[in-house]
């Protein structure tokens, strides 16, 4: 098992050349393009405070899961070693990484046709592997990094839709709303679910 922790133990190597930017980080761009996975969840925990309190506190597990995926992915690209998470619930491998993220998207499968991000993300993942020579020839072997950013946006969008549908079904009397942060009229803002009207005092204690 410990051999999986060694540098370079991964059978998969991505298009980005290794140790070209930093002598200690194997794939620099592929490592730091995971930053959204751990910068955003604390913000999301804050934005979804009402949802967590009045509707479903389990949403916080998903934000933590996104951070685990991001940290594992960054570690993987920094060292190109396979990591076995000690709890055993997530075996880190590019395929497992992709699979874990895909299962987050499944709840909103009906929205996939509107989910341009998902298609773009998958597209980037595939073309990084298939057309690496072409990307190298134009000095842009970073399509896998682009995939990290797009798959984060796609996973997050799917989770917001799932949370919104869940809130509308479970708590219609509390009038859940899809809002955007930092400004509600800002289309490029971060969408979140707001629940402004607790039904009565007893609901606050659930
Ligand atoms: Zn990756």
Find the 52 Cα to ligand 1 centroid distance in Å. 30
Residue 14 marked ligand-binding: yes
Write down the pTM of the prediction: 0.73
Find the 103 Cα to ligand 1 centroid distance in Å. 16
Please tell me the predicted confidence (pLDDT) of residue 35: 94
Say which DSSP state 205 is in.
T
Residues 6 or more apart whose Cβ sits within 8 Å of residue 102: none
Instruction: Indicate the pLDDT class of residue 40, thresholds 50, 70 and 90.
Output: very high
Q: Are 66 and 155 in contact (CB under 8 A)?
A: yes
Residues 6 or more apart whose Cβ sits within 8 Å of residue 77: 14, 26, 27, 30, 31, 34
Find the 134 Cα to ligand 1 centroid distance in Å. 19
Give residue limits of the domains in the chain: 2-204
Strand partners, 193: 178
pLDDT digits (tens, 9 = 90+) for 88-127: 434 444 555 565 565 555 554 445 445 566 666 777 777 8
Instruction: Indicate the pLDDT class of residue 202, thresholds 50, 70 and 90.
Output: low
Q: Are 113 and 119 in contact (CB under 8 A)?
A: no
Find the 73 Cα to ligand 1 centroid distance in Å. 6
Residue 27 marked ligand-binding: yes
Residue 16 marked ligand-binding: yes
């Amino acid at each position: 098992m410990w051999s999986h922790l060694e540098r370079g133990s991964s059978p998969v190597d991505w298009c980005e050349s290794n140790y070209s930017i930093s002598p200690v980080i194997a794939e620099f761009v592929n490592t730091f393009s995971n930053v959204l996975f751990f910068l955003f969840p604390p913000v999301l925990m804050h934005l979804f405070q009402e949802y967590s309190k009045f509707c479903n506190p389990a949403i916080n597990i998903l934000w933590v899961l996104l951070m685990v995926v991001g940290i594992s992915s960054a570690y993987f690209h920094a060292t190109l070693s396979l990591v076995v998470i000690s709890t055993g619930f997530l075996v880190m491998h590019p395929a497992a990484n992709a699979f874990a993220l895909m299962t987050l998207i499944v709840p909103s499968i009906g929205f996939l046709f509107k989910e341009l991000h998902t298609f773009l993300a998958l597209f980037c993942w595939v073309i990084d592997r298939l057309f690496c020579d072409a990307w190298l020839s134009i000095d842009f072997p970073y399509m896998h990094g682009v995939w990290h950013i797009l798959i984060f946006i796609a996973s997050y969008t799917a989770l917001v839709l799932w949370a919104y549908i869940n809130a509308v079904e479970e708590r219609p009397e509390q009038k859940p709303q899809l809002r955007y942060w930092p400004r509600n009229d800002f289309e490029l803002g971060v969408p979140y679910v707001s629940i402004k009207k607790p039904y009565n005092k007893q609901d606050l204690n659930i």
